[in-house]
Amino acid sequence: MIETLNEVLIDKEVTINKVGGEDSLKRRLLDLGFIPGAKTKCVLISPFKDPKAYSINNNIIAIRNKDARNVEVIL
């Protein structure tokens, strides 16, 4: 099943399928490690549910939901 990263529930591991968005945002997400084939999971949700923190490549990266919508994942 394909979803976007912002829809992933906490502690659920997913595989990144595709990264989209404007060129600058896409480049930034790729630089942070959100590349197709990488495994990631949501590890923390802020009190107002935005941003969320994701574990990827032994790092914790917090990104806004509007940016996470550009990352397509496979459950």
**Each residue's pLDDT tens digit, 27-57:** 999 999 999 999 999 999 999 999 999 999 9
- CATH code: domain of residue 63: 2.30.30.90
To the question of pTM greater than 0.75 for the whole model, the response is yes
* Structural domain boundaries, residue 21: 2-74
**pLDDT value for 63:** 95
Sign of CA dihedral 30, 35, 7, 69: positive
Q: Could you check whether the bond before residue 36 is cis, i.e. omega within 30 degrees of 0? A: no
Give strand pairing partners of 59. 56
Specify the number of domains making up the chain. 1
User: What is the C-alpha separation between 57 and 5, in angstroms, rounded?
Assistant: 16
Q: pLDDT exceeding 70 applies to what percent of the chain?
A: 100
